[in-house]
Amino acid sequence: MRANFPFKFILIFVLVFIAGDRLFAHIAGIAFKYSCLPEAKMYSGRGKADVLVFGDSRGYRHFPVMSLEKGFKGRFKVSNLSLIGASIEGMEARLFDYVEIYGPPKMVIVESTSSLSSYNEAFKEQRCFMLYSKRIGRIIKNDYPVLYYAGKVSNLFNYNSVTFLNALHKIVIPEPELTLKGVISEKNAENVQKRAKSFYKITNDNKKALKRIVELSREKGFELRIVLAPLLPKYNDYKQWKRSLEGIIGKDVSLWEYVSNNSFVREHFYNHNHLNKDGVKVLLKILEQDGFFRQGKRT
């Protein structure tokens, strides 16, 4: 009987650990039902919208939800699901999850410049959504297998992330104003232009993911808009990059291109990659003039 004691003790410990881990992970997940973090709202059944915005920090900073809804004259509810550092592959996972949960939206807006060159590092902090999304789990499994299997052993481990802490924070604090204040200095702007060698590389995984997003828009019938927000530096190979993008999305997807728009000057930029608050106002005004807030393919 004594010989069996260590085995029984270990078995009881493992069972208690698993039960406690799953219980506390479930309790942690309840926080999503009260958070105003957009992805938390989406996975807790409160994220239905007419228009979805996807992007990395450029989508996150340049497309304020309230400004877009005002532009659409209150006809559409907007959800900005952009994630700082996100890849197109990561956006694809989120979009497919959304369609699976709620059905297709009326419109999807994708800011597609730097995100086409990004990898999936930002999704390391999205582990808390693995329990709700097999697609996010697949990304983490492929790119960060240690984190994936650690999260399988302990579901609670997945909540040890900045995203979960942010979700908790957004229970008591509403989503802040996302536009940036400040102006890049003239010296920094000159240095950025000197270092501007080549435009963002399009990785093969992001290229395939964008093609699948295009196919999904055709299959489900929602309007897909690809937006290229302004950048401060000028790149010699940008036109070639743009042609490559046009070849990926096809002629039936509208492209709203503002990288080469001359309306934006240094005073409109917070840094080389992001407009400041005044720059975002200019962008929104130009979008309105271009008919962006009218539904239907751009003519």
pLDDT at residue 298 greater than cutoff 80: no
At 249 the pLDDT is 96
At 4 the pLDDT is 59
Residue 50 in 3-state DSSP?
A: coil
At 297 the pLDDT is 62
At 27 the pLDDT is 82
At 172 the pLDDT is 87
At 275 the pLDDT is 97
Tokens representing 140 are 């983490």
At 5 the pLDDT is 59
Q: What class, spelled out in words, does domain 5-289 have in CATH?
A: alpha beta
At 56 the pLDDT is 96
Mean pLDDT of 245-264: 94
Residue 226 in 3-state DSSP?
A: strand
What is the C-alpha separation between 244 and 251, in angstroms, rounded?
12
More confident residue, 121 or 19: 121
Spatial neighbors of 93 by CB under 8 A, at least 6 apart, are 133, 135, 136, 138, 139
Give per-residue pLDDT as tens, 4-38: 557 776 766 666 667 776 776 778 788 889 999 99
pTM value? 0.90
For residue 291, give Cα distances in angstroms to 8, 50, 126, 246, 287: 70, 18, 35, 20, 6
Mean pLDDT of 203-210: 96
Mean pLDDT of 81-86: 95
**Alpha helices, DSSP H, located in 154-203:** 162-172, 186-195
pLDDT at residue 72 greater than cutoff 70: yes
Do the Cβ atoms of 147 and 127 come closer than 8 Å? yes
At 21 the pLDDT is 66
Query: What is the pLDDT of the chain when averaged over all its residues?
Result: 91
Do the Cβ atoms of 109 and 51 come closer than 8 Å? yes
Mean pLDDT of 159-164: 90
pLDDT at residue 212 greater than cutoff 70: yes
At 118 the pLDDT is 93
Give per-residue pLDDT as tens, 34-62: 999 999 999 999 999 999 999 999 999 99
pLDDT at residue 104 greater than cutoff 60: yes
pLDDT at residue 185 greater than cutoff 70: yes
What is the C-alpha separation between 38 and 47, in angstroms, rounded?
7
What pairs with residue 108 in β-bridges? 52, 224
Please state which of the ranges 64-68, 188-192, 219-223, 292-296 shows the lowest mean pLDDT. Answer: 292-296
196-206 burial, b for 16+ CB within 10 Å, e for fewer? beebbebbebb
Helices and strands (DSSP H and E) totals, the chain: 12, 7
Proportion of the chain above pLDDT 70, given as a percent: 94
Spatial neighbors of 63 by CB under 8 A, at least 6 apart, are 53, 55, 80, 82, 109, 111
pLDDT at residue 265 greater than cutoff 70: yes
**Alpha helices, DSSP H, located in 72-203:** 88-102, 134-143, 145-153, 162-172, 186-195
Compute and round to an integer the Cα radius of gyration of the chain: 22
